[in-house]
Structure formats: structure tokens, C-alpha cells
């Protein structure tokens, strides 16, 4: 069955905002056996939104809109849908009370203009928004299903999983295809494909989804016993072949896996960051419950900060430089000792686009690892933009810590750079 996604937002077409909702919708729908056949982006204009909706409802059984559900003048979605379908907008008192309550819980006085968020087209079912303020809604029109969701990604994702998918299942739409997800780190996509392809069972298909140094391997098969046996056997063969390169089977994130390993071993971690500027600590603290094992993050960008906050010696910085194995080890050691952690992890390097040299080019990155008995450092040369180098560096730092906890740092042997004299 086909579906269509309509993204509403002039700011996206102007290049001011990145469209972040399509991928999670496509992935969630694929699991349910619903194929997203078309995606359109339209500006916040009544005629454009109305025409996109008219065409989409004429050719699909499921239509999703994102955006335009707030309380500003350019939020047109609910009004356009009501007009297109010839339905009145009606005030839902229960929604209005809930919106008022959410404002009050956040210490805010609700503006009268916000009451528009409690207006829904006649016959629409409200979709709860536990993350934000504006509810979504669901309309069934002669066997077609229209879902209007917020444009804010966190709100949309929550509503998608908690409201939309259950309603699709209840309506008997789609045909769920069993799938397995392997999450892999530490091997390039092309090299990974060479390992995976020979091990695929008959009628098992694979998709590779790389992002920031990690690769998701999604395995699919038909919903019949022979294909499902082949899928299960393929999964086991791949887990055996890839070993510690697999950090999760399922949706668990790399940072969540690292924190779980620390908790299992009753260990704590402290972070010191230079080139990643807080991104590594931010990734760890996005995981609920991280405070059980994550003690703190020292962002020491300047050399003076490295000396003052982490105890990196002036001599090391002067003779080895900030982008060096010695500095990475000293930063990790300083964070571990300063915060009283079991393990210290550090990032330093040259993210660019300037600051490189023939000896130390842009993309040169060092990771330090400190524990009570030993200090280690690992060297990489990364490519891409400044943002890409920083994002991949977060992945590499997390993976370094993961492999340390698994006692598999042998996998990083080609990247290890030894430094004497630190304890």
C-alpha cells in the first residue's frame, strides 16, 4: 500500500530549516509494510497546501502532513484541511483545557492566540502530543486516512510511534514485514557490504544506512516460514562473522550501549573534549539514566584551558602540540583524576577547515583513554567537512570506550600511537 508525505513549511524551501521528518516516517512505515511513494514540500500558502492535499488524497490511502499546526498566522494546516473537506473547525474544550494545563506546567501564561490549537475539523480524532503543545489529528475520508502531525521533529516522532502506527495497525493497513537491524561501527560501508553479501540467505534482502561512522544493516524477508528461517540464519551468521563490530541488534544507540556496559561493570566515565566541543558529553547525556555512570565533561578548547583544567603540561603542548597522542592521553588522565572516574576519554585534533599543515593536516584526530593501570591513545585521519569530522569523532570516541569495556581494543591496533611517561 502506498502513502504520501507532505511537508509544510516555507522555511524549508528557503533553506533556513532542514527537513528532518521524512526518514523516520519512511522507516516506521516500512516496518508496517506501507510504502512511502511520494514526498512533497510546499510553502505556507493556502493554495499550495490545498492542492498538495487534494492530489495526495486522490492517489493514496494514507497521507501524512507535517507542520502548520501551531498558533502563528502561517500555521494553516487545520484550516486548509477543513476547507478542502467541507468541514467546520470546532473547538474541543478538552483539548483547550489540556493545552492550558501544559502552559501552566511550564510556568507560562497561555496567549489567547494559542486557543486555535484546540480547533479541529469536524469528525477528526485528536492525536496526543506528549512532547509539545499542539495536538495532531486523524481523519478517515472514504477509506483514506489523513494524519496531520507537528513539524517539530521530536513531537512528530513521538506522535508517529504512539498514535499513528497503532491506528494504522487497528485499521488493518499495510502488511508488516519481519525485519532485523544490525548496528555496526568500526568498518566502512563498502568493506561491510563485502562481508555481508556472501552470507545472505535466499530471499533475504539488505539495506545499508551509513551515518557519522556507523552503519545500520537492515535485513528483510517475506512473512512465510522458509523466508523467516533464512532471515534468522542470516542474522546469526552475520553476528558471528562481524563479532564486536556489531554494537546492537535492534534500535539501541551506540551511546546507550556504552552507558549500559559501564553500568554492568559498575564503572564511571569522565570526558575531556577539544575538537568535539561538548558533542561527546551531549551524546551521552541524551540517554536517560546517564547520570548513573557519567560524571562530567571538561570542554578545554584553548591550550591554556587544557593546562589549567586538565593538567596537560606546557611542555607537551609546546613540543607535541594540541593535536597529538601525548595531549590526548594527558587530557583523558586529567579528566579521570579530576572527576574521580574509573575511565577517562578525550578528543583532540584539527576539525578545519583551517589550521592544518603538511605535518598535521585537517582531519587529524586523537583519542585518549585513561584507566588506573594504563593510558592509551589512538590516531585517525578523517575526511569531510568540519561538522562531519566532529560527528565521526564522537562515534570513534564512543567506540573506543566500548571496545575498552569489551576488552577488544585489539581491533584498534592499527590506530594506536604509544606515548611513554604518563601515569
Give the pLDDT confidence score for residue 423 in this predicted structure: 45
Residue 223: pLDDT band (50, 70, 90) is confident
Same domain, 7 and 156: yes
If one counts every other C-beta atom within 10 angstroms of the C-beta of residue 292, the result is 10
Cell numbers for 215, please give them.
552503519
The percentage of residues in the chain with a pLDDT greater than 70, rounded to a whole number, is 99
* CATH code for the domain in which residue 133 is found: 3.40.980.10
Rounded to an integer, what distance in angstroms lies between the CA atom of residue 335 and that of residue 312? 10
Rounded to an integer, what distance in angstroms lies between the CA atom of residue 298 and that of residue 121? 51
Q: Is the pLDDT of residue 176 over 80?
A: no
With contact defined as beta carbons under 8 Å apart, do 411 and 365 qualify? no
Length of the chain (residues)? 423
Neighbouring residues of 75: CB distance < 8 A, sequence distance ≥ 6: 44, 68, 69, 116
In a domain, 420, yes or no: no
Of the three residues 136, 170, 204, the one that is the final residue of a domain is: 170
Same domain, 15 and 161: yes
Model confidence pLDDT, tens digit, residues 269-311: 999 999 999 999 999 999 999 999 999 999 999 999 999 999 9
- The closest alpha carbon to 22, from 40, 46, 1, 34, belongs to 40
Same domain, 72 and 208: no
Same domain, 293 and 401: yes
Same domain, 48 and 155: yes
Same domain, 20 and 166: yes
Give the pLDDT confidence score for residue 422 in this predicted structure: 53
Residue 82: pLDDT band (50, 70, 90) is very high
In total, how many domains does the chain have? 3
Within 23-113, strands assigned E span 35-42, 62-66, 89-91
Q: Percent helix, strand, coil in the chain (nearest 5)?
A: 45, 25, 35
Of the three residues 104, 135, 170, the one that is the final residue of a domain is: 170
Q: What average pLDDT does range 99-117 have in this prediction?
A: 91
Same domain, 208 and 324: no
In a domain, 132, yes or no: yes
Query: Cα-flanking dihedrals φ and ψ of residue 413, to 5°?
Result: -55, -40
Q: Tell me which H or E stretch contains 171.
A: none
* CATH code for the domain in which residue 194 is found: 3.30.70.2860
Query: For the stretch 15-54, what's the b/e string if a residue is b when 16 or more beta carbons lie within 10 angstroms of its beta carbon?
Result: eeeebbbeeebebbbbbbebebeebebbbbeeebbbebbe
Neighbouring residues of 261: CB distance < 8 A, sequence distance ≥ 6: 402, 405, 406
Model confidence pLDDT, tens digit, residues 124-144: 999 999 999 999 999 999 999
Full residue range of the structural domain in which residue 91 is found:
2-170
- Ramachandran region, residue 186 (left: φ > 0; alpha: ψ -120 to 50; beta: rest): left
With contact defined as beta carbons under 8 Å apart, do 148 and 61 qualify? no
Rounded to an integer, what distance in angstroms lies between the CA atom of residue 301 and that of residue 147? 46
Angle at the Cα of 300 (from 298 to 305), degrees rounded to 5?
A: 120
Q: What average pLDDT does range 186-212 have in this prediction?
A: 94
Whether the predicted model's global pTM rises above the 0.75 cut: yes
Q: What average pLDDT does range 330-353 have in this prediction?
A: 98
Give the pLDDT confidence score for residue 420 in this predicted structure: 66
Mean pLDDT of the residues in the chain: 95
In a domain, 327, yes or no: yes
Q: What average pLDDT does range 59-70 have in this prediction?
A: 96
Same domain, 131 and 191: no
Angle at the Cα of 252 (from 363 to 261), degrees rounded to 5?
A: 80
Give the pLDDT confidence score for residue 129 in this predicted structure: 94
Q: What average pLDDT does range 62-67 have in this prediction?
A: 98
Give the pLDDT confidence score for residue 33 in this predicted structure: 85
Give the pLDDT confidence score for residue 126 in this predicted structure: 97
Same domain, 110 and 60: yes
Model confidence pLDDT, tens digit, residues 392-412: 999 999 999 999 999 999 999
In a domain, 160, yes or no: yes
In a domain, 58, yes or no: yes
In a domain, 421, yes or no: no
Which residue pairs, CB below 8 angstroms and at least 24 apart, start in 47-52?
49/6, 49/8, 49/76, 49/77, 49/80, 50/80, 50/83, 50/84, 52/6
Which segment of 86-90, 176-180, 187-191, 290-294 scores lowest on mean pLDDT?
Answer: 176-180
Query: For the stretch 78-100, what's the b/e string if a residue is b when 16 or more beta carbons lie within 10 angstroms of its beta carbon?
Result: bbbbbbbbebebeebeebbebbe
Of the three residues 123, 138, 170, the one that is the final residue of a domain is: 170
* CATH code for the domain in which residue 409 is found: 3.90.950.20
In a domain, 423, yes or no: no
Same domain, 227 and 80: no
Same domain, 143 and 208: no
Q: What average pLDDT does range 333-337 have in this prediction?
A: 98
In a domain, 256, yes or no: no
Same domain, 317 and 408: yes
Amino acid at each position: 500500500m502506498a502513502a504520501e508525505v507532505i511537508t509544510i513549511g516555507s522555511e524549508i524551501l528557503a533553506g533556513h530549516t532542514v527537513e528532518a521528518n521524512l526518514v523516520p516516517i519512511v522507516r516506521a512505515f516500512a516496518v508496517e509494510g506501507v510504502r512511502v511513494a511520494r514526498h512533497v514540500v510546499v510553502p505556507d500558502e493556502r493554495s499550495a497546501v490545498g492542492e498538495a492535499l487534494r492530489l495526495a488524497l486522490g492517489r493514496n490511502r494514507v497521507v501524512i502532513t507535517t507542520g502548520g499546526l501551531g498558533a502563528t498566522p502561517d500555521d494553516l494546516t487545520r484550516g486548509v484541511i477543513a476547507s478542502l473537506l467541507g468541514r467546520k473547525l470546532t473547538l474541543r474544550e478538552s483539548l483547550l483545557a489540556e493545552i492550558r494545563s501544559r502552559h501552566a506546567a511550564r510556568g507560562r501564561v497561555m496567549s489567547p492566540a494559542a486557543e486555535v490549537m484546540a480547533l479541529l475539523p469536524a469528525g477528526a480524532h485528536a492525536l496526543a502530543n506528549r512532547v509539545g503543545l499542539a495536538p495532531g489529528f486523524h481523519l478517515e475520508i472514504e477509506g483514506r486516512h489523513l494524519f496531520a502531525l507537528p513539524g517539530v521533529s521530536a513531537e512528530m516522532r513521538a506522535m508517529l510511534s504512539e498514535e499513528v502506527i497503532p491506528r494504522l495497525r487497528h485499521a488493518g493497513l499495510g502488511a508488516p514485514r519481519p525485519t532485523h537491524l544490525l548496528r555496526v561501527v568500526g568498518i566502512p560501508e563498502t568493506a561491510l557490504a563485502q562481508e555481508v553479501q556472501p552470507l545472505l540467505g535466499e530471499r533475504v534482502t539488505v539495506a545499508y544506512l551509513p551515518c557519522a561512522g556507523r552503519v545500520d544493516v537492515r535485513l528483510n524477508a517475506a512473512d512465510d516460514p522458509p523466508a523467516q528461517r533464512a532471515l534468522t540464519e542470516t542474522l546469526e551468521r552475520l553476528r558471528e562473522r562481524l563479532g564486536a563490530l556489531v554494537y546492537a541488534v535492534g534500535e539501541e544507540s551506540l551511546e546507550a550501549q556504552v552507558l549500559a556496559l559501564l553500568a554492568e561493570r559498575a564503572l564511571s566515565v569522565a570526558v575531556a573534549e577539544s575538537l568535539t566541543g561538548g558533542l561527546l558529553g551531549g551524546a551521552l547525556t541524551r540517554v536517560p539514566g546517564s547520570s548513573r555512570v557519567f560524571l562530567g565533561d571538561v570542554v578545554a578548547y584553548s591550550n591554556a584551558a587544557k593546562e589549567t583544567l586538565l593538567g596537560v603540561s606546557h611542555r607537551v603542548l609546546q613540543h607535541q602540540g594540541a593535536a597529538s597522542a601525548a595531549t590526548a592521553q594527558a587530557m583523558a588522565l586529567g579528566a579521570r583524576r579530576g572527576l574521580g572516574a574509573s575511565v577517562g576519554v578525550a578528543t583532540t585534533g584539527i576539525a578545519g577547515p583551517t589550521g592544518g599543515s603538511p605535518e598535521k593536516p585537517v582531519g587529524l584526530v586523537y583519542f585518549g583513554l585513561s584507566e588506573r593501570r594504563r593510558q592509551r591513545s589512538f590516531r585517525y585521519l578523517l575526511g569531510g567537512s568540519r561538522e562531519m569530522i566532529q560527528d565521526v569523532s564522537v562515534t570513534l570516541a564512543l567506540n573506543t570506550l566500548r571496545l575498552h569495556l569489551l576488552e577488544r581494543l585489539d581491533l584498534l591496533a592499527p590506530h594506536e600511537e604509544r606515548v611513554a611517561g604518563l601515569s
